[in-house]
Amino acid sequence: MASSLSSTPMSSCFSDSLPVNVGLTSDVQRRFFLRIPPLFHPTRIRMEYLSLRSDSCRTYAKHHSEEITNQLPAPLYMAMLKLAMKKLESVLAAILIVIQISPLLSHISWHTFFVPPAKAVLYSPDTKVPRTGELALRRAIPANTNMKAIQDSLEDISYLLRIPQRKPYSTMEGNVKKALKIAMDEKESILESIPMDLRANGSTLYASLIDGKGSLQTLLECIKDKDPDKVSVGLASSLDTVAELELLQAPGLSFLLPEQYLKYPRLRGRGTVQFTIEKGDGAFSPQDGGEAKNSATIQVVIDGYSAPLTAGNFAKLVIDGAYDGTKLSCANQAILSNNKLDKNNGFSIPLEIMPSGQFEPLYRTTLSVQDGELPVLPLSVYGAVAMAHSDVSEEYSSPNQFFIYLYDKRNAGLGGLSFDEGQFSVFGYTTVGREVLPQIKTGDIIRSAKLIEGRDRLILPVEN
């Protein structure tokens, strides 16, 4: 039975005069027809259709032929009758098709076709997940709400710049004017959010934001010139100043850590780690026409605002020299550190992920991206740095094995998100030397790792 069905076109199950033209592959036909109950088998439906068609014709002729014949000429009467039959055949064909597929539709949950916005993250092309480490780090700063409003208004311009051909410069201008108004109207609030010992530096940065070299006023002039390159450069400069001001407003954590986690190292703010990578074989290709070298440098900014325990443990490992001489290996879209370090190096930190819109991280819990949960520090960024899972439980991170994620949109899910989004403790991003990452191969070595910034923000547990 299966073989006969697979070789018969679906349209042949109906009369040749039916307006139905459905072409299916043999495999699809087989799976489609084998699931149809005997009551709705194509052969039986064909017989019922022909019977119904015959009965309908006789009924129609019986009730109307005498009346119409008396009023219309025979040729016109026959033409109208033929047209009516074709209309009736179309309606009957549609009804029979619905009857034929209705058993299959009962297996489908209709609510899957109506996905509410909160559950459509993976399907939405407008998902505004940070696509660069700098953007993700800037959004992670727990700063004054007025500064965040300025930042949001300016970041919208970066999306407007992606519009091809005629760019909405008037909208961009409105965004900058909005940011400028907030900055001027809320000057007192912005500066009061900065600790007293840092306020002088904050005042200088504020003045630079309003009317300096990379100021909002300069950005307005770039927009009026309608030069997208100038706008892009001016926007980057303004956002850098915004980020510097926000960092002054956030000298430490904006939340209290659970008491049971105070036994771990923790980073209260930002730090920068510099890696010197040495080639096991060959050399790194120069990017600016220089000489090929056996070693290269990359820098990673680690974020204690969103992952204080994970970043703190990593910073301590760097200070202790745990990664000096560590071999690297390359897996699918990731550069991994050797997992054969002494297990006494580092702490088994619980999985630590800060959800977007929340004020503190979740511990030992992954995020459901499908349900609209997104992390403040996304994995779906080229050069993201995260801890591998513990060998014992995925609710904990490895004490010392980390990886650098080589995000590739071609291998991402719908919406451009990694399939592993929300499953790992991301704690930083590669900000310098991203061009080196694709050249790193299995067997290359971390010659040295140094914490070049943030040592004063690292809090170590008190040893008993």
Of the candidate ranges 113-117, 201-205, 276-280, 417-421, the one whose mean pLDDT is the lowest: 113-117
Backbone angles phi, psi at 143, to 5 degrees: -105, 180
pLDDT for the residue numbered 464? 54
Quick one: average pLDDT of 147-169? 91
Residue 370, classified by CB atoms within 10 Å of its CB into exposed (0-12), middle (13-18) or buried (19+), is middle
* 45, 96 Cβ separation under 8 angstroms: yes
* 340, 400 Cβ separation under 8 angstroms: no
* 41, 13 Cβ separation under 8 angstroms: no
**Position 101 confidence tier, pLDDT thresholds 50, 70, 90:** low
Q: How many CB atoms lie within 10 A of CB 174?
A: 15
User: In the predicted model, is pLDDT for residue 139 greater than 50?
Assistant: yes
The CA distances from residue 152 to 128, 175, 314, in Å, are 12, 9, 31
pLDDT for the residue numbered 37? 42
Higher-pLDDT residue of 341, 365 = 365
Of the candidate ranges 4-8, 235-239, 427-431, 445-449, the one whose mean pLDDT is the lowest: 4-8
Of the candidate ranges 86-95, 170-179, 239-248, the one whose mean pLDDT is the lowest: 86-95
CA distance 97 to 94: 5
CA distance 240 to 231: 14
Quick one: average pLDDT of 398-427? 91
User: In the predicted model, is pLDDT for residue 65 greater than 60?
Assistant: no
**How far, in whole angstroms, is CA 346 from its chain's centroid?**
31
Q: Tell me the average pLDDT of the chain.
A: 80
Higher-pLDDT residue of 101, 458 = 458
Quick one: average pLDDT of 225-246? 94
**Position 100 confidence tier, pLDDT thresholds 50, 70, 90:** low
Domains of the chain: 2-108 (no CATH), 143-249 (1.20.120.290), 261-459 (2.40.100.10)
The CA distances from residue 393 to 164, 350, 351, 365, in Å, are 47, 10, 10, 12
pLDDT for the residue numbered 338? 86
- Return the closest-CA partner of residue 427 out of 361, 345, 369: 361
User: In the predicted model, is pLDDT for residue 27 greater than 50?
Assistant: no
Residue at token pair 């490992």: 317
Higher-pLDDT residue of 384, 100 = 384
Of the candidate ranges 16-25, 253-262, 330-339, 436-445, the one whose mean pLDDT is the lowest: 16-25
**Position 227 confidence tier, pLDDT thresholds 50, 70, 90:** very high
pLDDT for the residue numbered 194? 94
- Return the closest-CA partner of residue 389 out of 431, 442, 356, 352: 352
pLDDT for the residue numbered 1? 41
* 444, 278 Cβ separation under 8 angstroms: yes
User: In the predicted model, is pLDDT for residue 55 greater than 50?
Assistant: yes
User: In the predicted model, is pLDDT for residue 30 greater than 50?
Assistant: no
pLDDT for the residue numbered 411? 86
pTM: 0.71
Of the candidate ranges 103-112, 154-163, 232-241, the one whose mean pLDDT is the lowest: 103-112
Backbone angles phi, psi at 32, to 5 degrees: -70, -50
Name the DSSP class of 13.
G
pLDDT for the residue numbered 45? 43
Q: Is 383 left (phi over 0), alpha (psi -120 to 50) or beta?
A: left
Contacts with 435 (C-beta within 8 Å, 6 or more apart), sequence order: 287
pLDDT for the residue numbered 116? 43
* 150, 179 Cβ separation under 8 angstroms: yes
